[in-house]
């Protein structure tokens, strides 16, 4: 009987392994608190993947240390496709260039696909004495060191995008870091700080209500959440200025390629749905997808670009 039971167990185990992926629930680690952009995008796509693949995609928030705690959890997980990471710009593309972290994102993670991009907008108070981007640039250039810009914190994505804009536009300005986008934008609205480059999600409501005015968005293709608003590349005449925060799915390094390819194909299918696109718009995000190889190349370019921004601006943060 023991031999028969052992044989049955082996047959059962082989049968389970032979079933198409996924044959049990998939856990997605979100290294941020609930309600944050990465969390929302991951959940929306996870719902579609659950419907398409017939298995639950269970979201687990594991915040802390700027996203590095949850990211490291995935890095150390079994590479079997049943633990995924809701990856994003901060802990993957920016942090490796600023401070020590317990993983190498380009070595220790297997990219799956992007799921969303988030453009930012350059905003000023309604009474700022410029009616368009070119007038804004002329005024700031004529007064080097006089004007200030706010960010949600030193080393934050908003800080990076603003520094790149300042560099490409040849602006000499003073950085004023805040603890979050809300206090930063509050002081822009109040006129204590001249401008900020912040997420469309954070600025969109203020722009539509007239509490802020914008001179353009950071992405090369504009933003579905701010129709009619030009790109800064066009309005400020800065060819090549194209910045978006990104969100994607990744897996532990060593995850079988066929699983990565299958997930990427399902993500591409999910983000093409009108329902998902419509859910992204109020969040200030646009849909995105690519192949594992394309995402890997994208992440290399992003890390290199942030490294250059940090070097040129002399950005440092305390570990």
Q: What is the pTM of this model?
A: 0.90
Decide: residue 211, CB within 10 A, 0-12 exposed, 13-18 middle, 19+ buried: middle
How many whole angstroms from its chain centre is CA 56? 24
Whole-number pLDDT of residue 12: 41
For the chain, the domains span 25-117+244-313, 119-235
pLDDT tens for each residue of the chain, 319 residues long: 545 544 454 444 444 456 899 999 999 999 999 999 999 999 999 999 999 999 999 999 999 999 999 999 999 999 999 999 999 999 999 999 999 999 999 999 999 999 999 999 999 999 999 999 999 999 999 999 999 999 999 999 999 999 999 999 999 999 999 999 999 999 999 999 999 999 999 999 999 999 999 999 999 999 999 999 999 999 999 999 999 999 999 999 999 999 999 999 999 999 999 999 999 999 999 999 999 999 999 999 999 999 999 999 999 886 5
Give the position of tokens 């921004």. Answer: 309
Query: Does 3.40.50.2300 match the CATH number of domain 119-235?
Result: no
Do the domains at 25-117+244-313 and 119-235 have one common CATH topology? Answer: yes
List the CATH code of the domain at 25-117+244-313.
3.40.190.150
């Amino acid at each position: 009987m023991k031999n028969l039971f052992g044989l049955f167990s082996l047959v059962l185990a082989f049968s389970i392994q032979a079933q198409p992926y996924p044959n049990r629930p998939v856990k997605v680690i979100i290294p941020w608190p609930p309600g944050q952009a990465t969390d929302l995008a991951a959940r929306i796509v996870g719902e579609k993947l659950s419907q398409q693949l017939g298995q639950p995609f269970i979201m687990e928030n594991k915040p802390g240390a700027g996203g590095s705690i949850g990211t490291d959890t995935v890095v150390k997980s079994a590479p079997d496709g049943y633990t995924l990471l809701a990856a994003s710009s901060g802990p993957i593309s920016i942090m490796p260039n600023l401070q020590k972290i317990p993983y190498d994102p380009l070595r220790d993670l297997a990219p799956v696909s992007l799921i969303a991009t988030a453009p930012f907008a350059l905003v000023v108070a309604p009474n700022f004495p410029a009616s368009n981007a070119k007038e804004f640039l002329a005024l700031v250039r004529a007064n080097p060191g006089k004007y200030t810009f706010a960010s949600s914190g030193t080393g934050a994505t908003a800080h990076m995008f603003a520094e790149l804009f300042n560099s490409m536009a040849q602006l000499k300005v003073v950085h004023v870091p805040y603890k979050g986008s809300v206090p930063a934008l509050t002081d822009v609205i109040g006129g204590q700080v001249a401008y900020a480059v912040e997420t469309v999600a954070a600025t969109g409501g203020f722009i539509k209500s007239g509490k802020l005015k914008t001179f353009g968005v950071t992405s090369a293709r504009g933003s579905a959440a701010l129709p009619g608003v030009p790109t800064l590349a066009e309005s400020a005449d800065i060819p090549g200025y194209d910045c978006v925060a990104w969100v994607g799915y990744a897996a532990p390094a060593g995850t079988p390629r066929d699983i990565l390819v299958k997930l990427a194909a399902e993500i591409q299918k999910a983000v093409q749905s009108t329902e998902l696109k419509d859910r992204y718009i109020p969040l200030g995000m646009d849909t995105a997808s690519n192949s594992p190889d394309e995402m890997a190349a994208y992440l290399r370019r992003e890390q290199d670009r942030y490294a250059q921004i940090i070097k040129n601006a002399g950005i440092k943060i305390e570990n």
